[in-house]
Structures are given as C-alpha cells and as structure tokens.
C-alpha cells in the first residue's frame, strides 16, 4: 500500500512538474490531477465507526433525522430493501409518488382526479415502522402530466395550482413532517429577473406563483414544515455562487413579504473527487439562511462517480470522503435538522439512468451496495452524525 502510495505521489510530482513546465493548465489535466490528489488523500482516512448503531439511531442521538427517497415499486418488491430502510431510517420521501405525474401510477392522472393509493401505502409503511414522511413536491417544472399543456392556461392556472396543493396537502394534513412546496425555481442561465427559472408556472402566473404555493400549503396543513428546495448550492464555482446568492435573495424576499416558508432544502447531488468544495463558503451560506430564522434540510444527497477510478475500493473511498467532507461542514450548522440520501442502495438510484459512467460500470453513489451491504459511504455518514453537535 505504502509503495503504491509513494509511486502515486511520484506520479503526482512528475505530473506537477510537467504542468508547471508547460505552463498551461488544461481543464481535463487539472481534473485528473485533482482526482489523483483526492485518491491519495483519502487513502489516509480510516472511516472508522464506533459501535453498532444504525444511521437512524446515530442521527436521533443528535436531534437529527436520517432518511431516504424510495419508489413504491422498489419498496414493496424487495423485502431486504424494506427491512434495511426500516432499520436505518427515521424518514422516507416518496421519490415519484407525490409528484404530479411520474411512472404508471400518477398522482393526478386527469385534470379532475387524484390517485393517492401508492403514496398512501408508503405513508402506512412509514407509520408501521415509526418513520416520518416528507412530501416531494407540489410545484416543479418537471413531472407535469401529459394533459397539462393543453389544459392549463393563464386564466385557469391559479385555480389548477391551488386545487392541487389544497387537495394533496389536505389529504396528508397532520401526517407530513415537511413539504417541498416549490422545487428548483432558480436557474440563472434562463436570464429571467432575479435568476428565476423560466418554468411553465412562471410563464402562467409570474413570480408570485411561489408565494401563492406556500400560502395555500400553509392553510391546508398548518403543521407541516414548508420547504423551498433546490440544487447546485454546493461548490465554490461561479455558477453555484450565483445560485446561492439568488436563493438567499429569494428567501429574503419571501420572508419579508410574510410568505409562510420555514426551511431551505439543499439537494446536495455531489460529485466525487471534486476539489472545488469550499467548507467556509458553504458554512457561511448556511449561517445566512439560518439567520433568517429558517431551518435547513439536506434533501437528496448522493455522490456522482462518473469520472472516478474503476477500482471499487478506491472509488468508494473518494465517494465516502465527499460524504464526510460535506456532512461534517453542514452539520456544524445547528439549523440543519435532517439528512436524506436520494435512495439507500446503489441498486436503485436515479444516477444509473441520469448520470451513468462512460464505461457503463454500475454507479456507486449511495451508502448501501446493490446487495444491501453497508459501504464506506455509510461509515462516512455515521461518523459525521457521531461528530455532529447536538441540536
């Protein structure tokens, strides 16, 4: 091991010398160098975990909640998966079943009908196992039904949105820990005022659709924590910086106009080996959010491994390091109350479809492997919970 490390280090120095001598830092050279540094650095971490407690127990010991997103079909067709979820999680979030229309059992199959059967069964499962549930999501530019375009127009859009939120939120009133009321409303590249995304809702209702959604949700379930959820807030890049700024401004606007918003959800779809992680900047952003009186949830964490080594041991170390670095930073902020990963097991992850590896090897973004065994990422999460200050 030591020898391998030294020879990698030598490669690194040689690499550095070459880079310095040619004086030009091409992007992909820098990237591969970064991955290499990360691999060496992570080789020195032990990821040791003390005791046999589950993630659910370790989180609870600090006043935190750990949970996962899960699809109906996977939950009820794989008993091993269901058992591990019941053991390790204090919360679930239906990955599809509370969006307007995903898969073959959509929530709102026609303009006038709602089908709660799938989500109801998931909520029942969570109650049986003493877990909480999050609702995801009421307003999003994706997962809109096929009938949406021909049915919803400027005249009836407010009515459609209001009816949707009233019906769905009332159905689960008193049973939901929190709702992602609005999902992904910022997209700087769309070039709209205040960085707002050019979504169907924005086109139909203007930017007040956000306030409207929160007000209707608050009325329909005064107990649920109402969340604004977004991604791309994680790294020290100009894009993420601009998005953090736009999100802060959006939250400030909503707070100042009295919109009933209670929390920010940061999705945290991370990239393994990305050295643009800047703990201090992220920490500052979270303090700024907390200073507005908002709670924070890490809502959809996973770690992409597209560019990481083929070797599974090496790859898993880099992925675990990303979990540990991110969580040790964010859990330092007492306003963070929950951590959810976007799935439990590598067998069921949206990334195998949405961010496959170029070599087509199975992706490994989650804390459990395809056979439901704990991975190093599990250790990293456990360690971060164990080291977190108590809420």
Question: Where along the sequence are the contacts to ligand XIL (CB under 6 A)?
Answer: 95, 102, 183, 231, 267, 300, 350
Distance CA(230)–CA(233), nearest Å, equals 8
Nearest distance, CB of residue 223 and ligand XIL, angstroms: 23
35 and 309 in contact (C-beta within 8 Å)?
yes
CB-based contacts of 72, cutoff 8 Å, min separation 6: 94, 96, 97, 105, 118, 119, 121, 122
Bond before 137 cis per omega within 30 degrees: yes
Nearest distance, CB of residue 353 and ligand XIL, angstroms: 7
Residue whose CB is less far from ligand XIL, 118 or 382? 118
Distance CA(335)–CA(287), nearest Å, equals 8
Tokens of 149: 């375009």
Q: Which long-range contacts (CB under 8 A, 24 or more apart) does 101-108 make?
A: 101/143, 101/144, 101/145, 101/146, 102/143, 103/71, 103/73, 105/72, 106/145, 107/168, 108/145, 108/164
Q: State yes or no: is 184 an active-site residue.
A: yes
Residue whose CB is less far from ligand XIL, 75 or 382? 75
Ordered alpha helix ranges (H), the chain = 2-22, 27-43, 55-60, 72-77, 79-88, 117-128, 148-151, 157-171, 200-205, 209-220, 238-256, 279-291, 312-330, 351-354, 376-387
Residue whose CB is less far from ligand XIL, 300 or 316? 300
Q: Which residues pair with 341 in a beta bridge?
A: 68, 301
Residue whose CB is less far from ligand XIL, 114 or 231? 231
Residue nearest to ligand XIL as judged by C-beta position: 350
Q: For residue 276, how many other CB atoms are within 10 A of its CB? A: 11
Nearest distance, CB of residue 326 and ligand XIL, angstroms: 17
Tokens of 358: 């170029």
139 and 190 in contact (C-beta within 8 Å)?
no
User: Catalytic one among 88, 95, 97, 184?
Assistant: 184
Nearest distance, CB of residue 81 and ligand XIL, angstroms: 16
Nearest distance, CB of residue 178 and ligand XIL, angstroms: 14
Residue whose CB is less far from ligand XIL, 245 or 352? 352
Distance CA(327)–CA(266), nearest Å, equals 12
Nearest distance, CB of residue 296 and ligand XIL, angstroms: 16
Residue whose CB is less far from ligand XIL, 13 or 354? 354
- Residue (of 185, 96, 176) closest to 139 by Cα position: 185
Q: State yes or no: is 300 an active-site residue.
A: yes
User: Catalytic one among 97, 187, 300, 324?
Assistant: 300
Nearest distance, CB of residue 265 and ligand XIL, angstroms: 9
Residue whose CB is less far from ligand XIL, 227 or 308? 227
Matching residue, tokens 């992680």: 277
Distance CA(58)–CA(382), nearest Å, equals 7
Catalytic residue positions, numbered: 184, 300
């Amino acid at each position: 091991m030591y020898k391998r490390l030294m020879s990698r280090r030598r490669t690194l120095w040689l690499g550095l010398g070459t880079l310095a001598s040619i004086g030009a830092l091409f992007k992909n050279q820098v990237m591969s160098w970064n991955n290499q540094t990360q691999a060496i650095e992570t080789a020195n971490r032990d990821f040791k975990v003390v005791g046999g407690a589950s993630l659910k127990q370790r989180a609870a010991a600090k006043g935190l909640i750990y949970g996962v997103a899960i699809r109906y079909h996977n939950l009820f067709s794989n008993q091993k998966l269901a058992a591990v979820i019941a053991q390790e999680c204090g919360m679930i979030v239906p990955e599809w079943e509370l969006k307007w229309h995903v898969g073959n059992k959509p929530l709102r199959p026609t303009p006038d009908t709602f089908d709660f059967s799938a989500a109801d069964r998931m909520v029942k499962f969570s109650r049986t196992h003493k877990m909480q549930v999050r609702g995801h999501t009421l307003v999003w530019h994706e997962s809109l039904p096929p009938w949406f375009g021909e049915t919803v127009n400027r005249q009836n859009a407010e009515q459609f949105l209001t009816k949707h939120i009233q019906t769905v939120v009332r159905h689960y009133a008193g049973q939901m820990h929190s709702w992602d009321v609005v999902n992904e409303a910022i997209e700087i590249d769309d070039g709209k005022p205040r960085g707002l995304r050019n979504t169907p809702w924005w086109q139909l209702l203007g930017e007040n659709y956000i306030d409207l959604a929160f007000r209707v949700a608050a009325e329909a379930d005064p107990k649920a924590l109402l969340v604004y959820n977004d991604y791309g807030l994680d790294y020290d890049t100009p894009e993420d910086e601009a998005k953090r700024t736009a999100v802060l401004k959006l939250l400030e606007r909503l707070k100042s106009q009295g919109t009933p918003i209670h929390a920010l959800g940061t999705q945290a779809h991370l990239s393994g080996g990305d050295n643009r992680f800047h703990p201090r900047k992220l920490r500052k952003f979270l303090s700024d959010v907390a200073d507005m009186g908002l709670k924070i949830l890490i809502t959809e964490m996973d770690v992409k491994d597209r560019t990481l080594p083929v070797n599974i041991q090496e790859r898993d170390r880099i992925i675990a390091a990303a979990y540990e670095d991110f969580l040790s930073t964010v859990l330092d902020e007492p306003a963070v109350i929950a951590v959810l990963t976007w799935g439990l097991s590598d067998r069921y992850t949206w990334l195998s479809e949405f961010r496959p590896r170029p070599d087509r090897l199975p992706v490994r973004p989650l804390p459990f492997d395809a056979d439901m065994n704990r991975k190093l990422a599990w250790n990293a999460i456990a360690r971060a919970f164990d080291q977190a200050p108590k809420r």
